[in-house]
Amino acid sequence: MELETIIGLEIHAQLTTKTKIFSSTSNCYGAEPNTQACVIDLGMPGVLPVLNQETVRMAVMFGLAINAEIASRSVFARKNYFYPDLPKGYQISQYELPLVRDGQMIIELEDGSRKAIGITRAHLEEDAGKSLHEDFQGLSGIDLNRAGTPLLEIVSEPDLRSSKEAISYMRKIHQMVVYLAICDGNMQNGSFRCDANVSLRCAGDQRFGTRVEIKNLNSFRFVERAIEFEVERQTNILKSGSRVIQETRMYDAYKCETRSMRSKEEAEDYRYFPDPDLLPLLLDECFISAVRADLPELPDAKKQRFMTQYSLSSYDAGMLTSSCALGNYYETVVAELGGNPKLCANWLMGDFSAFLNKENREITDSPVTPYQIASLLRRVQDQTISGKIAKDVLEALWFGEGNVEADSIIEERGLRQIIDTSAIGEAIEIVIESNPEQLAQYRSGKGKLFGFFIGQVMKILSGKANPQQVNKLLEEKLKE
Amino acid sequence: MKEKTISQLSIGLAAKEFSSKELTQMFLERIKKFNPLLNAFITVTNDVALVQAQAADRRRQQGLAGPLTGIPIAQKDIFCTNGVRTSCGSRMLDCFIAPYNATVVEKLNAVGMVMLGKTNMDEFAMGSSNENSFYGPVKNPWDLDTVPGGSSGGSAAAVAAWLAPAATATDTGGSIRQPAALCGLTGIKPTYGLVSRWGMIAYASSLDQGGPLAHTAEDCAFLLSAMAGFDPRDSTSIDRPIPDYVNTIKQPLEGLRIGLPKEYFSDGLDNAVAHTVEIAIDQYQKLGARIREISLPNSHLAIPAYYVIAPAECSSNLARFDGVRYGHRCNSPKDLLDLYTRSRTQGFGDEVKRRILVGTFALSAGYYDAYYLKAQQIRRLISDDFQRAFEYIDVIAGPTSPTVAFNLGERVDDPIKMYLSDMYTIAVNLAGLPGLSLPVGFVGKHPVGLQLIGNYFTEGRLLNVAHRYQQVTDWHARVPNEFT
């Protein structure tokens, strides 16, 4: 019996508005508990919600970016359930009539082929507060700072067939919301999180199997592991002839397993109904066009353009457009350098990225400006310095103070590359004369010693010689 | 100062015949003397009142007084009042001190009105007799054995007994108009969206609307002009200019087209009430109005539709009273479910529980279409009935309530009979229209109310129609014997 995995994701992206979705309280993360909650967020008697229009603009941006239909009329509904961190006893969400419908996201599979993943809907809703179960001696603490934070819930079709596809899709959504600057994408803080619906069916079946929902996965790795665990668990159940129970499960990151939270029988009846405190949300074509006109260049389009405009490989273009900020940085470097996009790509994806990773910095707070990088690459390009020396200069730029150009470091430290053939020739002479033994061995066939000679020559020239030139001259000399 | 309407008091204050402080003290003394008899107030705010009265007097000295500056008023305990207990007639909020002011309270403060206290009401505004209050029933000043109506029973009794010259109230299915009728007062429920709901504790959000209860249409005009207006904190508030309702109140009624819905004069209407209402209609004819019969064919569906929609909304609105952040919490809960169950069991009264259960059921999976959705469709039909009628008439008139005030305890065990008290008022809320009740006579010692219903935003016209009647009658000026 061959089983097919069916996955659908519900992604929650917190929107980066200044204020909450239904109140004018600040939407910043990380304040002292319950300091960012006004009477509305606290669900005091008599309070009323007023929709933050900025959330609508953001949701429409997303809808347009995934080629979805934007509803000219959508309705906020109440999802009723009791929980201590849900102040009103209901969550304001959208139910029957969401703002965004029928979009899609193209993902790239491992074999390089492309696949369209349907996006059933994306709707606006408010986040709940947080229950804190530690540090209260058997009691629970409630922090309502998060209550009322705007969320965009993005629901995919059950189009994903493996954990790899799920991750690839999730990364694309993540990239998109960050590109659009509607979500900070910070998964550790819960700004971007996901529920996964997983089921299996016999290959070829039209009907879906019983699904299990895994709640609150807040890293790509957890999503991957939780799905893989769940697929294996369900496979074992089905292979043993049993049936999967429809239920909600949670993922335990320590034990790398999913555990049952509640079964279908215990599932809540949310008693959705249109929220009488909010009017239906009506959008006209004019508003939608204005948002469309304001859309930034989207990741896929940017990648395509990089491939044509800069003759980059799909891989390079993909890497450089993985974030909007990196793409912009790259383009500034290329423009400043006046060409040589491949050189720029190699440096940004190589040493520069390595520095960012090592220092755990975002490109937006890189200490080195694209203009400095261009000043460095200019000297690599005209062979004033070698690639190896350039790495040292980059390091100097990275840790140096102020906005210095590469040239001043090169001059200051005398790193200018030696391209004077006679100076290199002299050094080769010295090396050959002082290492007769190695010379004999080399000539008797021990070709590996070539590297030794290069090293010695470079040593004499303090590493500033052009490596290709040294190679060439040494090769000639040794053949004599 | 006693038994004077707001417009008369306003003249007295302006002429410096008395100060706001003196006026306020007089009402506070009357409250002290008569409230034990009536139970109209849950909280009397002596200190707040005197501070506000003195501020109003200073404002007058500075020449900054408006017509309502220094006039005392009672606030229904459904409106949040900053720093003052706001109980909504419920044990659940017995200890709740509101941290902010309702827009209505804010607006009346802004014009310099003086708050005497918070009036009794049916718990969370659910009731038609004021017998569903945690603070005990209110008595009708015209007959202490009878109910004042509900849910704004405390406001109505306070004004009828002259413990306050006027009061705020709210109306979800008749809670301004029915108590006005039963207590011989004038009260208006405005078009839905005219008065902000911010800070007005929600019962059924799509039906709730605040308004004034006073002796005369003119007083209601003064108050409504101050209470109404767009509020950006209420998404259902309507952004349109508010006229000065006092300015248009004197227009003649010649040519006014009044429609009498035949459905409002049939089964269930008390004969004596019907007779009193007919005499009032004759008076309108004398004032120049043209009377004709109309039909609102879906009237009989109003109560069933209301008792699905209102409970559905209330089941959700009252979910926030969970014992977690404020309000009543049971002693030593053993777990979360116990906290919820016992806090709510203890905090809510029977009628509130009944409506929460009905509403929860109506919204449940599998029943939503049959109940909630169907009720919303009926709501549209009812609304359409009115719109068809307003094509050829200006104002609809009929009895406010099918009977006069009934005895305390008479209907407490029969919710259906109790619900029928609002059979003529509920459709108005379902359609979102303005409705007014004015006193048009007595059956024995019990006042009878006439309801006037207008199209959207015709509050000015309704107040005008009521005012002209009050210029030629004195039902509104009668005072119950025990409270003179």
Among A24-28, B398-402, B452-456, the least confident range: A24-28
End-to-end CA distance of chain A: 71
Q: How far is it, in rounded angstroms, from Cα B340 to Cα B319?
A: 10
Is the predicted pLDDT of residue B290 greater than 90, yes or no? yes
How confident is residue A390, by pLDDT bands cut at 50, 70 and 90? confident
Per-residue model confidence (pLDDT) at position A386: 78
- Mean pLDDT, range B347-365, rounded to an integer: 97
Is the predicted pLDDT of residue B281 greater than 90, yes or no? yes
Is the predicted pLDDT of residue B242 greater than 90, yes or no? yes
Q: How do beta strands A212-217 and A247-252 pair?
A: parallel
Q: How far is it, in rounded angstroms, from Cα A92 to Cα A87?
A: 11
Higher pLDDT, B412 or B179: B179
Higher pLDDT, A325 or B121: B121
Any idea of the CA torsion for B337, B342, B343, B347, to the nearest 10 degrees? 150
Residues of B in contact with A276 (CB under 8 A): 204-206, 236, 313
Q: Answer whether B235 sits within 8 Å of A48, measured CB to CB.
A: yes
Q: How do beta strands A247-252 and B114-119 pair?
A: unpaired
**Which of A453, A446, A447 minimizes the C-alpha distance to A430?**
A453
What is the pLDDT of chain A when averaged over all its residues? 91
Give the angle subtended at the CA of A435 by the CAs of A432 and A440, to the nearest 5°: 85
Which tokens go with A215? 């709640």
Is the predicted pLDDT of residue B136 greater than 90, yes or no? yes
| Burial of residue B157 (number of CB atoms within 10 Å: 0-12, 13-18, 19+) | buried
Domain match, A107 and A128 both:
yes
CATH of the domain at A438: 1.10.10.410
**How many angstroms separate the Cα of B225 from the Cα of each of A30, A47, A227, B212, B293?**
45, 23, 62, 10, 32
Domain match, A406 and A440 both:
no
- Picking from A48, A93, A265, A277 by the largest number of B CB atoms within 10 A of its own CB, the best residue to mutate is A48
A283, containing H or E segment:
none
Which residues make beta-bridge pairs with B111? none
Domain match, A108 and A233 both:
yes
Q: How far is it, in rounded angstroms, from Cα B473 to Cα B470?
A: 5
Q: Answer whether B340 sits within 8 Å of A142, measured CB to CB.
A: no
Among A261, A288, A315, residue at a domain's last position: A288
CA dihedral for A381, A383, A387, A391, sign (positive or negative): negative
How confident is residue B484, by pLDDT bands cut at 50, 70 and 90? confident
Per-residue model confidence (pLDDT) at position B370: 94
CA dihedral for A322, A324, A326, A330, sign (positive or negative): positive
Residues of A in contact with B205 (CB under 8 A): 276-277
Q: For this structure, is B175 an active site residue?
A: yes
Q: Answer whether A80 sits within 8 Å of B363, measured CB to CB.
A: yes
- Mean pLDDT, range A9-33, rounded to an integer: 95
Which residues make beta-bridge pairs with A155? A10, A121
| Alpha-carbon radius of gyration of chain B | 21
Of A45, A89, A142, the CB nearest to B88: A45
Which tokens go with A37? 């909650």
Is the predicted pLDDT of residue B46 greater than 80, yes or no? yes
Residues of B in contact with A87 (CB under 8 A): 320, 324-325
What is the pLDDT of chain B when averaged over all its residues? 97
Domain match, A235 and A148 both:
yes
Is the predicted pLDDT of residue A362 greater than 90, yes or no? no
Tell me which of B76, B107, B139, B189 is the catalytic residue: B76
- Mean pLDDT, range A449-453, rounded to an integer: 85
Residues of B in contact with A269 (CB under 8 A): 364-365
Is the predicted pLDDT of residue A333 greater than 90, yes or no? yes
Backbone angles phi, psi at A107, to 5 degrees: -115, 160
Domain match, A126 and A167 both:
yes
Domain match, A396 and A432 both:
no
Domain match, A466 and A334 both:
no
**Which of B447, B428, B431 minimizes the C-alpha distance to B439?**
B447
Domain match, A157 and A48 both:
yes
- Mean pLDDT, range B205-223, rounded to an integer: 98
Among A288, A306, A329, residue at a domain's last position: A288
Q: How far is it, in rounded angstroms, from Cα A319 to Cα B433?
A: 61
Higher pLDDT, A402 or B157: B157
Per-residue model confidence (pLDDT) at position B438: 98
Which residues make beta-bridge pairs with A26? A19
Of B200, B363, B365, the CB nearest to A46: B200
Which tokens go with B339? 């906290």
A100, containing H or E segment:
strand A100-108
Per-residue model confidence (pLDDT) at position B181: 98
Greatest mean pLDDT range, A100-114, A248-262, B190-204? B190-204
Which tokens go with B218? 């003119």
Domain match, A345 and A460 both:
no
- Picking from A44, A85, A93, A144 by the largest number of B CB atoms within 10 A of its own CB, the best residue to mutate is A44
Q: How far is it, in rounded angstroms, from Cα A475 to Cα A472?
A: 5
Q: Answer whether A48 sits within 8 Å of B315, measured CB to CB.
A: no
Strands of the B257-261 sheet, one edge to the other: B41-44, B114-119, B72-76, B166-171, B209-214, B186-189, B435-443, B446-454, B395-399, B257-261, B290-294
| Cβ(B443)–Cβ(B184) below 8 Å | no
Is the predicted pLDDT of residue A480 greater than 80, yes or no? no
Among A237, A253, A288, residue at a domain's last position: A288
Per-residue model confidence (pLDDT) at position B319: 98
Domains and CATH numbers, chain B: 6-256+392-483 (3.90.1300.10)
B449, containing H or E segment:
strand B446-454
Q: How far is it, in rounded angstroms, from Cα A307 to Cα A103?
A: 25
Among A413-427, B69-83, B268-282, B408-422, the least confident range: A413-427
Domain match, A88 and A215 both:
yes
CA dihedral for B72, B75, B81, B87, sign (positive or negative): positive
Helices A387-399 and A370-381, packing angle to 10 deg? 160
Is the predicted pLDDT of residue A137 greater than 90, yes or no? no
Domain match, A465 and A387 both:
no
B59, containing H or E segment:
helix B46-61
Q: How far is it, in rounded angstroms, from Cα A73 to Cα A64?
A: 16
How confident is residue A263, by pLDDT bands cut at 50, 70 and 90? confident
Domain match, A191 and A257 both:
yes
Is the predicted pLDDT of residue B336 greater than 90, yes or no? yes
Q: Any idea what DSSP says for residue A25? A: S
Q: Answer whether B319 sits within 8 Å of A88, measured CB to CB.
A: yes
| Cβ(B462)–Cβ(B442) below 8 Å | no
| Cβ(A322)–Cβ(A329) below 8 Å | no
Is the predicted pLDDT of residue A463 greater than 80, yes or no? no
Tell me which of B133, B152, B175, B196 is the catalytic residue: B175
Q: For this structure, is B383 an active site residue?
A: no
Per-residue model confidence (pLDDT) at position A402: 67
Compute the residue count for chain A: 480
Q: Answer whether B235 sits within 8 Å of A84, measured CB to CB.
A: no
Residues of B in contact with A277 (CB under 8 A): 202, 205, 235-236
Per-residue model confidence (pLDDT) at position A419: 67
Among A342-346, A471-475, B421-425, the least confident range: A471-475
B440, containing H or E segment:
strand B435-443
Is the predicted pLDDT of residue B471 greater than 90, yes or no? yes
Any idea of the CA torsion for A389, A393, A396, A398, to the nearest 10 degrees? -120
Which tokens go with B280? 């009032």
Q: How far is it, in rounded angstroms, from Cα A265 to Cα A247?
A: 9
- Side chain identity, residue A463: G
Domain of residue A390 covers: 297-412
Compute the residue count for chain B: 484
Contacts by residues B50-55 (CB-CB < 8 Å, ≥ 24 positions apart): B50/B21, B50/B24, B50/B25, B52/B24, B52/B109, B52/B112, B52/B113, B52/B114, B52/B115, B53/B19, B53/B20, B53/B21, B53/B23, B53/B24, B53/B25, B53/B114, B54/B20, B54/B21, B55/B112
Provide the domain count of chain A: 3
Among A332-346, A349-363, B98-112, B227-241, the least confident range: A349-363
Backbone angles phi, psi at A263, to 5 degrees: -90, 175
Q: How far is it, in rounded angstroms, from Cα B226 to Cα A128?
A: 37
Q: Answer whether B319 sits within 8 Å of A82, measured CB to CB.
A: yes
Residue pointed to by tokens 């904190």: B233
Is the predicted pLDDT of residue A300 greater than 80, yes or no? yes
CB atoms near residue A318 (< 10 Å): 17
- Mean pLDDT, range A168-180, rounded to an integer: 96
User: Helix %, strand %, coil % for chain B, to 5?
Assistant: 45, 15, 40
Helices B350-363 and B302-317, packing angle to 10 deg? 100
How confident is residue A339, by pLDDT bands cut at 50, 70 and 90? confident
Per-residue model confidence (pLDDT) at position A161: 96
Q: For this structure, is B76 an active site residue?
A: yes
